[in-house]
Structure formats: C-alpha cells, structure tokens
Structure 1
Amino acid sequence: MRFPQAAGRYLALGSNEMLIEQADSRSGRRKFMQAAVQHFITEEEYLTAERQQDEKHEWHLGECFAMAGSMRWHNLLSSRILAELVQHLDGKKCTPYMADLRLYIEAHRHYVYPDVMVICNEAAYLTDDMAKDAEIIVEVLSAGTESYDRGQKFLHYQFVPSLREYVLVSQDVMQVEIYRRQDGKWEYERLMRPEDVLLFETVGCTVTLEMLYCGIPLENSSLSRSIQKLKRHSL
C-alpha cells in the first residue's frame, strides 16, 4: 500500500478498494475518504506505508490525513524555537524535535507530527521514529489548521501523560499563547509585545518575541515597526 504523492488524488488500499482525497472544512486537513466500500486503514498499514515515503500523514481511528507542506514563515518560526531549545538543552536529558518524530496519543489512537516537541524521558520512545509522550508541544498556527490545533488536537494532546506546556504560535500577528498544566488544571498566558518573553518553564528556556518574529511580515504594521525599532537600537 502507498499513500499518494502531493499531486495524487487517490489512495489505493488493495485490488478493489480506493480512497478519494477530499478537503475537511472543519480541520483544514486533506482527508482520504472511502469512495465505494467503507474500509479503514489499519494502524499497521498506516505505519508500514508511512515509513516507505517522504510525505507525512496523520492517522486517527482508521482515517488518514495528509499534512500540507509548511510555508516560509511557518518554517522560520518553528526553526527559531527549535534552535533555542537545542542550544539550551545541549548535554541535558531533554531532547527537542521538529515535525519529523511521530507522536502516538494512545488514549485516542491518534498519530500526529507536532511542529516542535520536547521529550525528557527515554521510556517515551516506542521506536526510533515514534514516541508516546512529551513534556512540551508547540504548534505554529495557519489559516487551515488553527481551529484544529485549538480544538480537537489540543483535546487529544491533553491525554499525553507528561505534557506540561502546549504553545500556539501565530504567524500573521505577534501572538504566542501558552497553556501550562498545573495540578491537573490548564493555565493560560498570552504574549503580544516584542519585549515579552516566552518561557518554557519545564526546561527553563526563554525566547523573546522580538527575536522570534524578527523579519517576519505581520498584519499589524505597528507591531512590525516596533520590532524593527528594537532591532535598530540593538545595533
């Protein structure tokens, strides 16, 4: 079994089954639905095919979702967060990953690829390409996935046993939202100014919004000017 390439439209399951690629308006994901016979992809089929191709897919209860390729600013934001975490965690027990390590949410039978995640426990790894636990998860929001990242995906992430911080990074405006789990409850913090500091409390790593959004075009031009002004003053 092979999943389709980016330009493909159909996903062959077998000699008599075919899935049709459709848009899922609720989540912004590309969704593969059964054209004739209701047939779901098993976890084993999904994992086997996923390891044989470059394109990544989420899987949830038998349904497979192709992940759209990340755009320029999405990649830049993810990379900057990863770079700060890599530098800060060098030589420590926690390891950051960006989008290539699969996370299995066992309680919901859901396989996902977080934009950035940090794992601190060796027991979290199921295989070299998959984990079942993480302490920090970061998602960079886009128009097509924002409702999904805020809704169903976050609900599922709450069942990741060791998750302590869930971070949502906007790419069109300067805004970072942090959900921190404290004593079984989630506390919320929103950052919107260049001088604000994103603190990953779990690992003690900090990132200023000025650095995070430097050079990224924002819808709010006054925020963009503030970044450029701070940048000039630092020269």
Structure 2
Amino acid sequence: MTNFVLVAGAWLGAWAWDEVAAELRAAGHDVHPLTLSGLAEKQGVPAGQRTHVLDIVDEVERLDLRDVVLVGHSYAGVPVGQAAERMGDRLSRVVFVDAMVPVDGESSLSGWPSDEVREAIAATGFWPPQTAEDYAGQGLTDEQIARIVNGSTPHPGGTATEPAVLTGDLGKLPGTYIKCLLDGDEPWGAAAELLKSDRWELVNMNTGHWPMFSQPRELAQILHQSVTAP
C-alpha cells in the first residue's frame, strides 16, 4: 500500500491538498496531508527550518509508514528534500511539485531576488502571504484564488532564512520533478542539476504554480502514475 505524504508550500496547510487527496484515496492509496509548524491550524507554534524537517520525519515515524511517496510543493521542497534522505527504507519516492530544491548550507531564499521578503521577515518575523493580484496568470479561477488567499497564514520567517542541511546526494534517490509551465518553461538552478540524475524524471503540467487548486485531478493522476508505471 502506497502512503502519500503531502506537504504544501509557503502560507498553506494540509487543507490545500483536499481535492488531490480525495482523488488519490479513490485510486486506492493512503494519503497523509501534513501541516507544517506555524501554519494554518498550527499557527503560533515556533518553527525554524529544522522544525519543518522534523515535522515530516516525525509524522512518518509516528504513523509507522512504509512505502512512502513524499511530496513537496514550492517552499516545502526544501524540508521535504532533507526529510527524504533521513527516511531510509521507508521512502519509495520523492516528488517535487514546482518546488524549491534544498542545497546544503543555503536557505530557501537563496538564488532568487528576495530582498523584499528578507526585509519583511526582519521586521515582522514572518513571510507575509501574497495578495489576490499575485496569483494572476497562474491558471486559477477567481474562486480558487479567493480560497488560497483566505486560507493563507503568515509563514514563519526562520524556516525561509535558515540553511538546509544535507548529508547526501538527492540525485541518488528515486524522484519526480513536476514543472508547472505557466510559472516558467523549465526547471532552473538546483532543480535542473537534480534532473541530470538518471533516477529522476521530469513531468510537465500546463498550469501554474498551484496545481493542487488549478488541476487537482491531473496532479493526482501524475502522482498515481509515479508509483504504478513499470
């Protein structure tokens, strides 16, 4: 029995996976959406980057999950990648959904223009959620945008500024990178490097950065196929 552990990106909680989780369960999988510390129903819980890694590892161990497909969206790729290499034989596959890829010693804000985000974190301690206008051009309906905006919570700043810690090579793990084409034509930076490994596959989706909202059925099908393909 495949166990999908789903971790959404900045500002979001387990609720973001509701539609994808329903599709995967209908296909016969066990699904475990996870809210990271400091977000959604866990607001107020202090969190740094290591906290988010432990959130994932501890949940897998608490439930004694095996044959785990660990899925990280956007920001969550950073803690998911670190957690994946700590899971040993519990891990079946890691999937990055248009996600940041962790690099040892670098934070999730490394490698892209983030001065404004860093200033907000320095001033408030949080990475503030985006506004409705920020979701334009990402294949989302007005209702979907409203759902994301209304459900978003400020993201604990330390999780974005503290460095990742990797002890191995993620390229040696079996993995899938899902690239959402409305958010850029191809993976770049650490994601592009990861895909040079013959253990990783690239799958494109013709939608924006939040496919769990814009194309949940299609995303669930890709996840299903990642464990059923020969």
- Considering the TM-score relative to the shorter chain, is it more than 0.5? no
TM-score, L = length of structure 2: 0.30
Flag the structure with more relative contact order, 1 or 2, with Cα contacts below 8 A and sequence separation at least 6: 2
TM-score, L = length of structure 1: 0.30
Task: Determine which structure has more spread, i.e. the larger CA radius of gyration.
Answer: 1
Is the strand fraction higher in 1 or 2? 1
